[in-house]
Amino acid sequence: MTEDILTIEEVAKYLRVSERTVYDWAQKGEIPAGKIGTVWRFKKESIERWVNERLSASKKRHKSPPIDVESIITPERIVFLDFQNKHDALKALADNLSTAPQIKNHAELKDAILQREAIISTAIGFGIAIPHVRLASVSDLAVSVGISRVPITDFLPLDDEPVRILIMIAAAYTQHTEYLQTLSFFSAHLKSNKLRNALVVVKDSAEAYRLLTSPTTGGFQTLPPAQ
């Protein structure tokens, strides 16, 4: 088995569901899977695509209230990174996110972020990665933004584009809807070339914050859906 093939246990951990749920989905043909002998196996690329399709379909079915960016981002949780590997970049961003009052267990957050990344890459293409977890030790949704001064090349996204922008999301274990809405929101709006190009050249976190929250500077609130 290669690192591109996942077991039921690994898919269950990635999707935050039970192994039995993954097994039932596989049996019913509801999730891309195949059998090797008598056991189910899953391709990482197929699971990533399946998740993105489900999120997109959910967004079309349910019109969610707009995300209030100012309520989930602060200048203090926008940091600049200077690491060429994802492990160090994720650790540094987790350190920053842990300063949020919603994060009650720094060590658990960091371990969960790194473990999830070891199972499957959180890079979504376009130079973006969105590491994300739900934990019982998180009291409410919190976000940190990392802008990398150097390309991070080992996220292994499908489009091979080095990562320059990281959005780290932590939510309470019970915040399933808010969690998915935030993931979908950032995934869609950060695909804007205008916004990405502006973010990677900002001089400080205050400027990045203004860019992310101001409707007059091409921020999230006024961007049309990515094409």
Q: How many helices (H) and strands (E) does the chain have?
A: 9, 9
Residue 227 lies in a domain: no
What domain range includes position 38?
5-61
Q: Are residues 112 and 209 in the same domain?
A: yes
Which CATH number fits the domain that encloses residue 161? 3.40.930.10
Alpha carbon distance 164, 202 (integer Å): 12
Same domain? 78 vs 189: yes
Q: Is residue 75 part of a domain?
A: yes
Which of 19, 43, 61 lies at the terminal end of a domain, its last residue?
A: 61
> Given this model, what pLDDT does residue 116 score?
92
At 203 the pLDDT is 92
At residue 59, the pLDDT reads 56
Query: For residue 86, is it within any domain?
Result: yes
> Rounded distance, CA 43 to CA 162, Å?
22
Are 136 and 36 members of one domain?
no
| Residue that finishes a domain, picked among 61, 80, 103 | 61
Give the sign of the dihedral formed by CA 194, CA 143, CA 132, CA 106.
positive
Residue 115 lies in a domain: yes
Overall domain count for the chain: 2
Question: Same domain, yes or no, for 40 and 117?
Answer: no
Does 202 lie in the same domain as 153?
Answer: yes
DSSP state at residue 161 = P
Q: Is residue 104 part of a domain?
A: yes
- Rounded to the nearest 10 degrees, the angle between the axes of helix 44-61 and helix 176-189 is 100
C-alpha R_g of the chain:
17
Q: Does some domain include residue 21? A: yes
Dist. CA 150–CA 68, nearest whole Å: 29
Q: Which of 42, 61, 80 corresponds to the end of one domain?
A: 61
CA distances from 62 to 4, 16, 66 (A): 33, 22, 12
CA angle (60 as vertex; 124, 190 as ends), nearest 5: 30
Q: Are residues 31 and 140 in the same domain?
A: no
CATH number of the CATH domain containing 34: 1.10.1660
Kindly state whether residues 75 and 106 are assigned to the same domain: yes
Do 79 and 40 lie in a common domain?
A: no
Query: Are 57 and 100 within one domain?
Result: no
**Has residue 12 been placed in a domain?**
yes
| Residues 141 and 90 reside in one and the same domain | yes
Helix (H, G, I), strand (E, B) or coil at 146: strand
Does one domain contain both 99 and 192? yes
Residue 9 shares a structural domain with residue 92: no
Q: What is the pLDDT along the chain (227 residues), one digit of tens a residue?
A: 346 899 999 999 888 888 888 998 988 888 999 988 889 999 998 998 898 888 776 655 555 556 677 888 899 999 999 999 999 999 999 999 999 999 999 999 999 999 999 988 999 999 999 999 999 999 999 999 999 999 999 998 888 899 999 999 999 989 988 888 888 888 888 888 889 999 999 999 999 999 888 664 444 443 333 33
Q: Would 133 be classed as within a structural domain?
A: yes
